[in-house]
Amino acid sequence: MSLPTDFIEKYEQLLGAEAPAFFESFQEPAVAGFRTNPLKENQQSFEEKIENMPWSYYGKVSGKSAAHVTGLVYSQEPAAQIVGQAASPKPGMKVLDLAAAPGGKSTHLLSYLENTGLLVSNEISKKRSKILVENIERFGARNVLVTNESAERLARVFAGYFDMIVLDAPCSGEGMFRKDPAAMEYWSKDYPSECAVVQREILQSAMEMLAPNGQLIYSTCTWAPEENEDIVHWLMENYDVELLDIPKINGMVAGIDLPQTARMYPHQFKGEGQFVAKFRYRGEARPSKKKKGNTSNLNREQVQLWQDFAKANLSFQAEGILQAFGDELYLLPHDLPDISKLKIARNGLHLGTFKKKRFEPSFALGLALRSEEVKQRVEISNEDFIRYAAGQTVAVSSDLPNGWYQVAVAGNGLGFAKIVSGTLKNAFPKGLRFS
């Protein structure tokens, strides 16, 4: 790999005697990793566990595997996984993932929240927010609102609201050179300083949304001090924050003159590049306007259709606010401020669709529910899963009554589908099908 000359000169000066080993690491292949999903009902064993990191493994997973499609595994390289682990939110917390796509940090945070509290997962890019929604739904979490907003607009709604904010900031991407060589095309000597301007702007809005004693986890996938330690110093100079220590595991090293922060270099840590810092906000609560809450907007017919379906098919208590967006029904988490002015990509858990005089459950609902939360479940083999994912019907026992079933493979939900006369009709989303 041919690195930019200015990059080489910069890190020769910054790393000194460490520089040759650092540059040599760029000739090695990028390190792949994945996490398992503790929210899923049926777990599996995998090889190459990563020490000191719950749910984490080295290796690649196939996007066509049942483990991936049911949300049991999520691909994320090991250094990036340190961000969620450094955050480690406690169940019940209100958490914001401020720059969330494609979803690695959000799904990791959800593993800790255990379907309690709230995660607002935000992505300013509309295109990238669609990928984020898909990954959140596959993970099967219920306590998530996905927004498609700027940090500034979120701060108008969520002033002083969050117990924790995670910002994996847009950056110069130096830590991704090995994984994505195209990132070098955008890099220049001045690019880190340009990125730092944007990072400070986003952080200003983030600080407005932290509750007293709230935690901020700031990270980048770059080694540039302008975007890392310089940003930490700026935060400490301008806000009443306390820098918290991040344990150094698996070859992580302390930041430059900031021993509480953490750096990951590929010649020391088996993964790509990352920087992480963690703060506690010691200031007072931001004043926020009293705003009306969110209420259900269902008409009488919609309420009845949902209740009829739930009574016949579910043992699941829908805790939240039922809201319809057109014909789509969502379960919005409680205790949110009025979000009517925000661009919403996923308004909580997608329950399903109202059609003429009936309600049809969503793929997302079938991914999220466990076996004890549904009244009828049909397990299909891996061979049948391959056919089902390609859009085909599956033959099942003729003894099974007609009706809605949660489909499961390897013990985990794969959406809902109808059984009619011994045939499992195909309800796998057309946009996700593969052969």
pLDDT digits (tens, 9 = 90+) for 120-153: 999 999 999 999 999 999 999 999 999 999 999 9
- Ligand-binding annotation for 38, yes or no, is no
CA-based nearest residue to 365, from 418, 318, 304, 303: 318
Which residues are catalytic, by number?
221
Are 81-281 and 376-435 equal in CATH topology?
A: no
327 marked ligand binding residue = no
Domain limits, the chain: 81-281, 290-375, 376-435
Banded model confidence at residue 288, pLDDT cuts 50, 70, 90: low
Residue 101 annotated in ligand binding: yes
The neighbour count for residue 369, using CB atoms within 10 Å, is: 23
CATH homologous superfamily of 81-281 equals Vaccinia Virus protein VP39 (3.40.50.150)
Q: Cα 110–206–324 angle (5° rounding)?
A: 55
**pLDDT tens-place string over residues 320-343:** 999 999 999 999 998 899 999 999
Question: Residues near 401 by Cβ (< 8 Å), separated by ≥ 6?
Answer: 376, 419
In 3D space, the residue among 254, 269, 223 whose CA is nearest the CA of residue 14 turns out to be 223
Q: How far apart are CA 170 and CA 69, in angstroms?
A: 28
The class (CATH top level) of 376-435 is mainly beta
Model pLDDT for residues 40-65, shown as the tens digit of each residue: 999 999 999 999 999 999 999 999 99
The arithmetic mean of pLDDT across residues 102-124, rounded, is 97
Question: According to the model, what pLDDT value does residue 290 have?
Answer: 58
What is the bridge-based pairing of β-strands 56-58 and 423-424? unpaired
Helix, strand, coil percent content, the chain, rounded in steps of 5? 30, 25, 40
Q: State the sign of the Cα–Cα–Cα–Cα dihedral 258, 121, 84, 95.
A: positive
C-alpha pair distances (Å), 330 with each of 33, 122, 304: 33, 18, 15
Closest CA to 220 of 253, 189, 240, 196: 196
Q: What is the mean pLDDT of residues 64-92?
A: 98
| Residue 222: strand pairing partners | none
Q: Is 20 annotated in some ligand binding site?
A: no
Residues 275, 228 contacting (CB under 8 angstroms): yes
pLDDT at 289: 61
Q: How many whole angstroms separate alpha carbon 46 and alpha carbon 36?
A: 9
Residue range 358-364: average pLDDT?
Answer: 98
Residue 80 known to bind ligand:
no
